[in-house]
Every structure is written in C-alpha cells, then in structure tokens.
Amino acid sequence: MPAPVENLIILGSGPAGLTAGIYTARANIRPLIIDGATPGGQLMSTSYVENWPGHQRILGPDLMMEMRKQTETLGARFLSETITALDVSKKPFTLTTDRGTSLSAHALIIATGATHKRLGCPGENEYWGKGVTVCAVCDGAFYPNKRVIVVGGGDSAMEDASFLRKFTDKITVVHLLDKLTASYAMQQRIINDNAVKIIYNSTVSTIAGDGNHVTSATLVDQKIKQTQTIETDGIFIAIGLRPNTDFLKNQLEVDKLGYIIVHDDVKTSVDGIFAAGDVHDYKYRQAITSAGNGCIAAFMVQEYLQKV
C-alpha cells in the first residue's frame, strides 16, 4: 500500500526549514521535515551565536535543538533521511531518499542550504570551531585585538576582512592567485587599509594549535613552493559556498553555480515548490535571514494549498 500523500514536505532542518515547519505546523498542515545529511544545518558546527534575537549568547547546536523541539511540539514530523531524487513532472511530487523510501507531497519547501567549501588541509577538522570558522559576522567579536587570517580573495573574503577590522588591526588575507577577484570597490577597501596584509599566490597547507585552539598556520607559495608559518588566533575561510542541490538533477531551474532561481522571494520555476535560505543565492547569509525566508515560504505554501 503506497504511503499517503503529504500536504507539505520540507527538505532540510536548518533555520529555514525549521521556521517553515513551525509556521506550517501552527497552520495545521502537519509538515514532514526531512533532516538531510546535516540535521540542524550550518549552525551545528558554529560555536557561540550572539546575534539571534532573544539570546545574548547561545551555542549554535543548542539554538537548533531549541528550534527543533519547538517544531516537534507544534506537530511537525521528522524523517532522518536524505532526499536523493525528485520528480516534478507530475503532481503530487514524488521523492526518493537515500534509504529507498518513496514519498509524495502536494507542496515542497526546499531548504537544503549550502555547504562552505573547505581547505581540506591537516588541522582543519581538528580545530573547526576552535579558531577555524567560516562566519566572520558570527565569530568576529571573539577576536578583539587578536591575530586573524582570512583565506580567500573574492567579495566574501573582503567583506569578512572589512568586518573583522571592527575588532582587530592584525589581519592577514591569504589568496591563491596573484590578484584579488573581488569587485573593485571591495578590493580598494582592503588594499588601502594598512592594518590588512595580503599574501598572494599562497594556500594554507597546515593548521596547528595547542589542542584547544588554533595557534598557527603554514602557508605554501604556489609559485616558488616556499613555506612559511605565521602565528594566528583565528582562521576565517571564505573561499565560497556550494549549494546542496545535486539531488535536483534538472528538475528545477538553477543558476550556473547550482543555486535555485527564485522570484517573489521564494517561488521556484515549478508551481508548488518553494526555496528558502542559502539554497538560493541570497545576499545576506545569516541564520535570521534564512529563518525569515522559511516564514515567507510557509505563508506561500498555505496560499498554494488552498488552491489544490
């Protein structure tokens, strides 16, 4: 006997997915939330969050557990699997998970987020959350007058370096190429700042620490293959994001980087499917903006289901 058709399936259980779950559960839609490969999203690997309304300071995992408990209490259901295939050629939409579970739904909210690209060097995993981070806005305030490294040369890296200047004047930017790739205006903001040192043609080959926190990074000059080790208190990685949309397989319209293309905030190219959070190319990548996206998607789902 086939499983019943769900009113709504939400893909992803980060701030966007859980907020959508809270609002649609309160609307008696009884959403089914698919946890995905990283239940809780990017905040599960974040240390303290100090910019979430209502909490002066809370660990990222604790915040996500609070949101999850609230969502469950309101009646949302969870499935600890990952969607691997989606068919939007007919309604209701059908989905398949990594465990072979077949699901169908009248509406979908895709909130699978994006994954920060990593360096892949020794020490990165060991010191993740212990000085290695991907969010200057989240963690910059923990480094007053500290030595920090920003890895990257695009707009995100320049924004991170600019933000970190509020707290320290000991900033080193490490970039793979011989010139920055950020927009001209962003480059000028950093190049003309004497507090920011830029090391070109280099990559971080090793991250070291004292067991509790980062203490240094070893750099390799890609032209002359010379290495140098510099002391640092924090490393901010800003080498880009990869949207978690591989499972779509041409089912929805995406841009050249794989981000879902949306209009009217969260509507996708397929009627009845909405995208919320970092899975589409939204400028302000913060947990609170993802949550707002999830709220908008929830309201649009309610309007859509009234017509089904």
- The set of catalytic residues is 135, 138-139
Q: Retrieve residue 192's tokens.
A: 């003309």
User: How large is the C-alpha radius of gyration of the chain?
Assistant: 21
Nearest to 42 by CA among 119, 121, 129, 122: 129
Euclidean distance between the first and final Cα of the chain, in Å? 23
Inter-residue contact 288 to 296 (CB < 8 Å): no
